[in-house]
């Protein structure tokens, strides 16, 4: 077993980051002009990293498969971004944000990384305000906050229901300034298909130009993966339809370990599935749980009558409503963490109390409208209410919203050390593409925080510690390793085009995704996991014999793009199931039915499973190899999560 060195600095937790920065190696301004860095992805992590690295003087090549960096999925984030500013004077601090994040992740994240995240969170707000991000403000002009799940303070900064969009526009503007100055070269409509390794180090990537179909080679002294998560492995998720895990999967197959692949977040407030032909799901921001109350009918007969259309939500009197989160978790109420809220909704629906199709619960603003007035609610959540009405054709001001949990985010990702470098030297992973900060469950409003922390304030320091030793490296795309990678990609594409089956890629993905959701979704058990692991060989054979990819490789071909991604998803799904099977405990989103308390809460096994599971690719037709990074908590007390008091 490989000894995973996280490179955590010595010294007190609160001084580790400052100590690291004071002793790391740097690259002087003249030498920065000689260094090339590739950044894959232009979401919050990728755009902020590109902007900052360009500002520092490095030569940056930035890639995205979209036609504009502004179409990165970060733009869809709604609710807010956390920071320990304590503007509300309600007891917040860096230490409390650190503890809430560790606890929210069910004690399965690395202490030093999480503290650093909390520490730099305040810098992010200052940076974004300076860029002109229009955060919500009090009447007097000061920045305001709201609450999110898993916290008892108000630390979330927001721009109505469009926080991700506004933050991304800020990072995009900073990046485009560097594009104009010639320090960042942008490559839109380019999809990374492989990483080139030369003498054991990442030295470049191979891309397909999605417009022309041309395969192109790019060399650099270091490669940064900022391509987001892999939630679309399940087919239906809140992710943009184009979001995919192929970049991190290719990194895994070239030597970067994959950490905790089974840790995939379920978001409790999404618009429920409404038909067989649906291609994605829509998130309703967690911020709605500040004022909305979640309930189901207390009587099964009422729930059945609603499902059959004989009653509506308005027909159920207050005394016959079960506000189950407020009943079960009085200290946090509707603002429990996402994994807790999601399992509670599933439990109520499985017990026969669901509404709509049976897989939905109510999110009700009646009391908030009565207390604050309709205009106040509209000012806070107007665009979210409008989006809900357009999709569902029902007025949430008059009737409760219907919501149900859905796949939203991946806590798992490429294993990285304290410097955000993977196990492949010269390859870094930032934002959702890595595993580092959220453990087994991410708290709401922390994804934007991590993406911008990595891109603006962490990677630009840590990457220099590596690049300082690479100044003498001469880059060339004419090396044989580049041509070998190109040949491998061409062969893979030809194989996809020559299948000539009769099933579309999307139809196959849907079938596979539903099967994965049923076994590696909100709840898992040993028997089902063993069965699907055995079935993956058949699933893979079916894919390579039954799908049909029309068109050719030398043209714009979205079906070919999808086919390559689904081929990766099948292999990733197998790894997710194996990771779920070996972790014989319940923690955060990973809920093994065999391991739960008498009150149906997650039952951890700290004696045996307090580690990061880091998987190594062993080759085609071989089982992956498990390595473990043991987690040590020296500054907080390990305890069972309790959101009841």
CA–CA separation, 267 and 240 (whole Å): 15
Cα–Cα–Cα angle for 395, 398, 401, rounded to 5 degrees: 60
Alpha-carbon separation of residue 188 from 33, 37, 276, 394 (angstroms):
23, 16, 33, 38
Question: Do residues 565 and 192 make contact, with C-beta atoms less than 8 angstroms apart?
Answer: no
* Runs of H (alpha helix) within 476-525: 480-497, 505-520
Task: Give the per-residue pLDDT at 302.
Answer: 97
Q: Is 600 a residue whose pLDDT tops 90?
A: no
Q: Which residue has the tokens 């690295």?
A: 53
**pLDDT tens for residues 348-404?**
999 999 999 999 999 999 999 999 999 999 988 998 999 999 999 999 999 999 999
Global pTM reads 0.97
Q: In whole angstroms, give the CA distance from residue 243 to residue 186.
A: 19
Burial class (CB in 10 A: 0-12, 13-18, 19+), 358: middle
Is residue 456 predicted with pLDDT exceeding 90? Answer: yes
Strand-pairing partners, residue 157, are 81
What phi and psi values does residue 198 have, to the nearest 5 degrees? -125, 120
Complete edge-to-edge strand list for the sheet that includes strand 215-219: 190-198, 201-209, 215-219
Q: What percent of the chain has pLDDT over 90?
A: 95
Beginning with the edge strand found earlier in the chain, give each strand of the sheet holding 36-40 in spatial order.
184-187, 59-63, 36-40, 222-225, 427-429
Compute the distance between CA of residue 331 and CA of residue 313 in angstroms, rounded to an integer. Answer: 26
Q: In whole angstroms, what is the distance from residue 208 CA to residue 198 CA?
A: 20
Contacting residues for 361 by C-beta, under 8 A, at least 6 apart: 294, 295, 296, 345, 348, 349, 354, 355, 402, 403, 404
Cβ-contact 458, 124 below 8 angstroms: no
Backbone angles phi, psi at 361, to 5 degrees: -130, 170
**How distant, in Å, are the alpha carbons of 131, 169, 184, 420, 612 from that of 460?**
19, 20, 14, 10, 25
Report d(CA 635, CA 409) in Å as an integer: 28
Confidence of residue 2 (pLDDT cuts 50, 70, 90): confident
**What residues are paired with 23 via a beta bridge?**
none
| Residue 160, pLDDT above cutoff 90 | no
Show the tokens assigned to 331.
């200290």
Alpha-carbon gap, residue 162 to 184, rounded angstroms:
27
DSSP 257: -
Q: CA 165 to CA 324: how far, in whole Å?
A: 33
Per-residue DSSP letter, 94: H
Q: What is the mean pLDDT of residues 1-19?
A: 93
* DSSP label of 605: -
What would the pLDDT profile of 212-269 be if each residue is shown by its tens digit?
999 999 999 999 999 999 999 999 999 999 999 999 999 999 999 999 999 999 999 9
Q: How far apart are the C-alpha atoms of 470 and 157, rounded to whole Å?
A: 40
DSSP character string of 27-47: --HHHHTT-EEEEE--SHHHH
Backbone angles phi, psi at 55, to 5 degrees: -60, -35
- Comparing 455 with 600, which gets the higher pLDDT? 455
Give the pLDDT of residue 603: 96
Closest CA to 131 of 184, 52, 54: 52
| pLDDT tens column, 296-333 | 999 999 999 999 999 999 999 999 999 999 999 999 99
Check residue 557 and report its DSSP letter.
-
Q: How buried is residue 566: exposed, middle or buried, by Cβ count under 10 Å (0-12/13-18/19+)?
A: buried
State the Cα–Cα distance between residues 540 and 559, nearest whole angstrom. Answer: 18
Please give the angle made by the CA atoms of 74, 77 and 83, to the nearest 5 degrees.
Answer: 100
Number of C-beta neighbours around residue 480 at 10 A: 8
CA angle 151, 155, 158 (to 5 degrees): 120
| Sign of the alpha-carbon dihedral angle for 81, 82, 84, 85 | positive
Distance CA 36, CA 499 (A): 39
> What structural domains does the chain harbor?
13-263+411-467 (3.50.50.60), 267-407 (3.90.700.10), 498-602 (1.20.58.100)
pLDDT at 404: 97
pLDDT band for 432, please (50, 70, 90 cuts).
Answer: very high
φ, ψ for residue 227, nearest 5 deg: -95, 5
The confidence band for 140, taking pLDDT boundaries of 50, 70 and 90, is very high
pLDDT category of residue 274 using cuts at 50, 70 and 90 = confident
CA distances from 328 to 294, 302, 340, 345 (A): 12, 21, 11, 12
Which pLDDT band, with edges at 50, 70 and 90, does 1 fall under? low
Query: Which residues lie below 8 Å from residue 444, measured CB to CB, with a gap of 6+?
Result: 79, 80, 148, 149, 150, 156, 286, 287, 338
| Paired tokens of 264 | 């995939």
Q: What's the token pair of residue 145?
A: 């906050």
The structure tokens listed for 552 are 């050719």
- Asked if residue 60 lies in contact with residue 205, where contact means CB atoms within 8 angstroms, the answer is no
When the pLDDT of each residue in the chain is averaged and rounded to a whole number, the result is 96
* Euclidean distance between CA atoms 113 and 8, whole angstroms: 9
Q: How much is the average pLDDT of 496-520?
A: 96
């Amino acid at each position: 077993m490989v000894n995973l060195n996280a490179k955590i600095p010595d010294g007190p937790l609160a001084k580790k980051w400052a100590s690291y920065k004071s002793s790391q190696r740097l690259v002087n301004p003249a030498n920065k002009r000689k260094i090339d860095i590739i950044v894959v992805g232009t979401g919050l992590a990728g755009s902020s990293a590109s902007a900052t690295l360009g500002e520092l003087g490095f030569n940056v090549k930035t890639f995205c498969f979209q036609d504009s960096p502004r179409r990165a999925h970060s733009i869809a984030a709604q609710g807010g971004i956390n920071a320990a500013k304590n503007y509300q004077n309600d007891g917040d601090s860096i230490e409390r944000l650190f503890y809430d994040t560790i606890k929210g992740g069910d004690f399965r994240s690395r202490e030093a990384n999480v503290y650093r995240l909390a520490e730099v969170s305040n810098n992010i707000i200052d940076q974004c305000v300076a860029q002109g991000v229009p955060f919500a403000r009090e009447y007097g002009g000061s920045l305001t906050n709201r609450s999110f799940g898993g916290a008892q303070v108000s630390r979330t900064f927001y721009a109505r229901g469009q926080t991700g969009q506004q933050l991304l526009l800020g990072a995009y503007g900073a990046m485009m300034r560097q594009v104009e100055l010639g320090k960042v070269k942008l490559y839109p409509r380019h999809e990374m298909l492989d990483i080139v390794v030369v003498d054991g180090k990442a030295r470049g990537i191979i891309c397909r130009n999605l417009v022309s179909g041309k395969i192109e080679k790019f060399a650099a002294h270091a490669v940064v993966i900022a391509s987001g998560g892999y939630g679309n492995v399940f087919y239906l998720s809140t992710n943009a339809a184009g979001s995919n895990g192929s970049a991190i999967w290719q990194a895994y197959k070239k030597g970067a370990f994959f950490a905790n692949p089974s840790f995939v977040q379920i978001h409790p407030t999404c618009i429920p599935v409404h038909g067989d032909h649906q291609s994605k799901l829509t998130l309703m921001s967690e911020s709605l749980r500040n004022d909305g109350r979640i309930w189901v009918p207390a009587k099964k007969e009422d729930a059945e009558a609603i499902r059959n259309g004989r009653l509506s939500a308005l027909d159920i009197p207050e005394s016959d409503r079960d506000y189950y989160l407020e009943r079960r978790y009085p200290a946090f109420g509707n603002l429990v963490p996402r994994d807790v809220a999601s399992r509670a909704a599933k439990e109520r629906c499985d017990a026969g109390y669901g509404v709509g199709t049976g897989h939905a619960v109510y999110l009700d603003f009646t009391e908030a409208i009565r207390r604050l007035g309709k205009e106040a609610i509209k000012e806070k959540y107007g665009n979210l209410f409008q989006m809900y009405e357009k999709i569902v054709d029902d007025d949430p001001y008059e009737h409760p919203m219907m919501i149900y949990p859905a796949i939203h985010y991946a806590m798992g990702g490429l294993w990285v050390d304290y410097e955000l470098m993977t196990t492949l030297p010269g390859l870094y992973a930032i934002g959702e593409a890595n595993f580092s900060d959220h453990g087994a469950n991410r708290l709401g409003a922390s994804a934007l925080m991590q993406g911008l922390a990595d891109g603006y304030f962490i990677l630009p320091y840590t990457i220099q510690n590596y690049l300082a030793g690479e100044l003498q490296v001469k880059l060339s795309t004419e090396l044989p390793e580049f041509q070998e990678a190109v040949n491998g990609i061409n062969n893979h594409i030809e194989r996809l085009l020559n299948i000539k089956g009769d099933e579309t890629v999307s139809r196959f993905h849907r079938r596979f995704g539903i099967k994965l959701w049923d076994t590696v979704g909100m709840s898992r058990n040993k028997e089902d996991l063993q069965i699907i692991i055995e079935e993956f060989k058949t699933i893979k054979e079916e894919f390579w014999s039954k799908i049909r990819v029309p068109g050719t490789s030398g043209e714009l071909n979205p079906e070919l793009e999808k086919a390559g991604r689904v081929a990766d998803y099948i292999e990733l799904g197998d790894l997710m199931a194996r990771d779920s099977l070996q972790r014989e405990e319940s923690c955060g989103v990973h809920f093994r039915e065999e391991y739960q308390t008498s009150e149906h809460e997650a039952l951890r096994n700290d004696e045996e499973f307090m580690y990061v599971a880091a998987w190594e690719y062993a080759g085609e037709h071989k089982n992956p190899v498990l390595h473990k990074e043991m987690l040590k908590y020296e500054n907080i007390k390990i305890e069972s999560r309790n959101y009841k008091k």
